[in-house]
Structure 1
Amino acid sequence: MRIELSSGSIDYQDTGGEGPVLVFAHGLPMNETQWRKVVPLLDGYRCVLPTLPLGGHRVPMKPDADLSQTGVALLLGEFIERLGLEDVTLVLNDWGGGQFLVSEGRAERVARMVLVACEAFDNFPPGPAKAMARVCGLPGGVRLLTRLMRIPAFRHHRSGYGGMSLRGIPDEIMTDWFAPATRSRAIRRDFAKFATGAPDRATLLAMSERLPEFDRPVLVVWAAEDRLMPREHGPRLAGLYPGGRLVEIADSSTLVPEDQPERLVEVLTGFLAETGAEPVRRAG
């Protein structure tokens, strides 16, 4: 499915149904397949998965689109509003910018958040990804990155995407994530805009200071063997939100949906049930 928003067209998947709405956001330059192991386990919920313009999107944004952290967060909020979604559970993994719907005062449709091993505070982009962001800021940098990603030793290196999953991201999935930027100059333009669009440290920390205004339930799920998201950020995030709670998942790196999908669904559905978002079971 596809919807036209102010910055351009957004593809999305929607499982439909009458169950509570879960909106899943992804990382750079990923797409909805980041959640392919999780969504089939969420019977009784309506799962909505937009492909945000983080470089893995299939349709270029308008040339003047704001693809900064706040720009993409506001686009996510616009997406939720345009679909008429209410009482949404926003689920983030890797990219943490969806939290800035709070700092921008646009989280009125979000009833709860689930923050799974994601960027927080001044960790935008995460430490090991800062070098990639610098490359993306150079002329031809994203094109160079897409070419390097074809080399198995680079693709699977532990200091890059290879370090995001203990199980290893399947080659066909990673190829799909980088395919749009490989074939489209306009997508590479969008990729570079987002990759280099993080505010400075002082601005990020100032934005974070507004996050405690979100007084609804927040589940923070942190990975015990994450190479990108500092381990201390998990309890710090959980303590930041008035309704925050922390669960740490062992034997996982950043991409918890890849490494521990069943355990993630277990803690997610428990949290949803405890906070008034019971699944809708089909009769019979």
Structure 2
Amino acid sequence: MTEQIEVPAGTIEYTDTGGSGPVVVLIGGLAIGPSLWDGVVAALRGDHRVIVPTLPWGAHRIPMRPDADLSLAGHARIVADLLDALDLRDVTLVENDTGMAQLVAADHPQRLARLVITSCEAFENYPPGLAGKTVGLVGRLPGGVLLAMSQLRIRPLRKLPMTFGWMTKHGIPDAMMDDWLRPLLSDRAIRRDLTKYIRSVDRHVLTQTAERLRGFDRPALVAWAAEDRLMPAEHGRRLAALLPQGRFVEVPDSRTLIPLDQPDLLADLIAEHVRAEAPAVA
């Protein structure tokens, strides 16, 4: 069941499996809904409390407040505010696709016990690849987001490298993507939120954040897709080397959206990582 919580930026929807197990929070990327994580949640929920918020990347259904900061740093603050509002402690934060979890770990680590970074934006690869640059261009044109999303009603266009084509090895089900795109196609305020993020992009922010990750002294797993065509594996290795307790693993038979291509393997990696010793977070 979807629940709601108020944070300073607005209302955030989330799902929560409940239970008393270790807390795992899963977050994804632009125009990608929480169903990205369905396979991972199914594998983890028996022994973990799994929370999947729908952040204002475009697949959200409730617009943020007009004055909300929706930059990458603003999204990191939303995650920190969400963890505070839900009073979550000793959290394992898992992110895919966007690089925002790096900012959470660097600037808002208070409630984190562990970090899992899967294939994502990092260093100078922001926005990433042809798809990221295309989004950056259309987001700066009047009506550009609506035009771009409307074209994705044509299902074959979703498989192009400049859209979602290079993001998975095994494809995204059409019904799933229809659900992800529906808010952007139907609600001007949701398009406003995504446009606000796109126009805030500072291509230097993740390079600047990387050095601050040296201060995150808790277990960190960097799991990178072996066949990623958008996020260079070398960036994953560099991130793992920066993190004092970083460990790098390569995920076979997958591209960027590892939670879709390899949900069971990713769930196993997360569960193993959760079992690692970590200091309690006050």
Q: Deviations over 1:149-183 (max 9, x none)?
A: 11122111134202111110001111111100100
SS at match of 1:9: strand
> Would you say the 8 A contact 1:20–1:46 is kept in 2?
yes
What does residue 90 of structure 2 align with? 87
SS at match of 1:112: strand
Distance 2:177 2:208 in 1: 34
Matches within 5 A, 1:69-108: 69-104=72-107, 106-108=108-110
Distance 2:35 2:53 in 1: 11
What does residue 139 of structure 2 align with? 136
- Say which of 148, 156, 160 aligns to 1:153: 156
Structure 1 residue 101: Cα displacement:
1.8
What does residue 71 of structure 2 align with? 68
- Say which of 40, 53, 57 aligns to 1:54: 57
Structure 1 residue 268: Cα displacement:
1.7
SS at match of 1:162: coil
What does residue 111 of structure 1 align with? 113
Structure 1 residue 253: Cα displacement:
0.3
Distance 1:151 1:200 in 2: 30
Calculate percent identity across the aligned residue pairs: 47
Q: Deviations over 1:119-157 (max 9, x none)?
A: 111222212211221111110001001111111221111
Q: Deviations over 1:202-230 (max 9, x none)?
A: x4322221111001000000001111101
Q: Which amino acid aligns with 1:249?
A: V
What does residue 167 of structure 1 align with? 170
Structure 1 residue 276: Cα displacement:
5.6
Question: Could you tell me the TM-score, scaled by structure 1's length?
Answer: 0.94
Q: Which amino acid aligns with 2:74?
A: G
- Say which of 25, 31, 40 aligns to 2:27: 25
Q: Which amino acid aligns with 1:119?
A: E
- Say which of 124, 127, 131 aligns to 2:126: 124
Provide the aligned C-alpha RMSD in A: 1.3
> Would you say the 8 A contact 1:134–1:196 is kept in 2?
no
What does residue 280 of structure 1 align with? none
> Would you say the 8 A contact 1:136–1:192 is kept in 2?
yes
> Would you say the 8 A contact 1:16–1:46 is kept in 2?
yes
What does residue 13 of structure 2 align with? 11
Q: Structure 1's 273 and 204: CA in aligned 2 closer, same or farther, altered over 3 A? A: closer
**Which sits farther off after the overlay, 249-258 or 190-199?**
190-199
Unaligned runs of 5+ in 1: 278-284
1:176 aligns with 2:179: yes
> Would you say the 8 A contact 2:219–2:276 is kept in 1?
no
SS at match of 1:246: strand
Matches within 5 A, 1:145-224: 145-201=148-204, 203-224=205-226
SS at match of 1:120: coil
What does residue 248 of structure 1 align with? 250
Structure 1 residue 261: Cα displacement:
1.0
Distance 1:102 1:272 in 2: 16
Distance 2:207 2:54 in 1: 27
What does residue 39 of structure 1 align with? 41
Question: Could you tell me the TM-score, scaled by structure 2's length?
Answer: 0.94
Q: Which amino acid aligns with 1:18?
A: S
What does residue 282 of structure 1 align with? none
Distance 1:275 1:137 in 2: 45
